[in-house]
Amino acid sequence: MTDTPRILVTRKLPQAVEARAAETYAATLNPADGAYGPDGLVAAAEGMDGLLVAPTDRVDAALIGRLPDSVKIVATFSVGYEHIDLEAARARGLVVTNTPDVLTDATADMAVLLMLAAARRAHEGQTLLRAGKWAGWTPTQLMGIQVTGKRVGIVGMGRIGQAFAKRARAFDMAVHYYNRRRLDPALEQGAVYHDTVEGLLPQADFLSLHCPLTAETHHLMNGDRLALLPDGAVLVNTARGPVVDDDALIAALASGKLAAAGLDVFQGEPDVDPRYWALDNVFILPHQGSATVETRNAMGFRALDNLDAFFAGKEPGDRVA
């Protein structure tokens, strides 16, 4: 293309990412960070050659059908792309890219934080201190669960799952995993493979979810599967909220079947099921898994790399449609 491509950036991105976008493209930014609704996004896309969207933008078949003909590519600022209808994009000839790899370490770190905080009752300790109710140390106060030496089950042994397993081994944890395909032994590093989720769960004192959200994994952790975990297990979710059935998890936490949970993602974000607020044995964070300066910059640069390749007439490295 001879003219500078025009792109719409739908959310406020880190300063370094916006600076590069503005330098390379005729970029329409979103400094107020107000989320576009479908009508607003379609209107703002008029005359644009590409979109740089976020997981909060629902790019479904209806929206894709309304996009101006000028739009040829959608680059999402995320590794997940369940918010984009890939089939509809392919049918229209719309290129879609994502940002894999760059958020692996940050998300694996977050899973460790959630595991430790849930097991060691960090929420209860913080609440006690902030309410001014701590009367001092006692021998049996807020006794939690030791992480070191326990068994950890991992559902989804992709890049993030493997990074989490590496961290778990530093706690001398025995790693068990379920994946659609067994890893090469060199990547397993002694981890025990289970060919079904049901086979994995009884071996998981701690369970960490790292699978994508698909039709098959929606409510993967339902009441029947949670019942297969050992009594007093701890569940960690940094994957996607709908992988877990809220009704089943809340019941398991309230009954004591599960000792605790650490959650960074929720079904229906940002509307969190209010029943979680009444549970002291849940450590929760607002989808912070990739929220480091380094990672969010890298995500933005990766999205721009894909746009750069496309507008240079090359195949984007992270094309998913």
Residue with tokens 């929720």: 266
CA atoms of 47 and 67, how far apart (whole Å): 10
Residue 244 has φ and ψ, to the nearest 5°, of -110, 135
Residue of 287, 294, 302, 319 marked catalytic: 287
Residue of 123, 240, 296, 302 marked catalytic: 240
176 catalytic per annotation:
no
CB 51 within 8 A of CB 8: yes
188 catalytic per annotation:
no
Taking the CA atoms of residue 106, residue 110, residue 116 and residue 122 in that order, the dihedral angle to the nearest 10 degrees is 130
Joined tokens for residue 306: 């894909």
194 in the Ramachandran plot: left (φ > 0), alpha (ψ -120 to 50) or beta? beta
Joined tokens for residue 58: 């629902």
Residue 274 has φ and ψ, to the nearest 5°, of -65, -15
Residue of 82, 269, 275, 319 marked catalytic: 269
- Alpha-carbon distances of 104 from 17, 100, 210, rounded to whole Å: 19, 8, 11
CA atoms of 304 and 309, how far apart (whole Å): 9
CA atoms of 113 and 131, how far apart (whole Å): 23
219 catalytic per annotation:
no
- Residue 236: how many CA atoms within 13 Å on its side-chain side? 30
CA atoms of 226 and 202, how far apart (whole Å): 10
CB 156 within 8 A of CB 176: no
- Alpha-carbon distances of 260 from 73, 155, 189, 246, 294, rounded to whole Å: 42, 18, 28, 14, 30
- Alpha-carbon distances of 68 from 11, 112, 321, rounded to whole Å: 19, 44, 18
Residues with a catalytic annotation lie at: 240, 269, 287
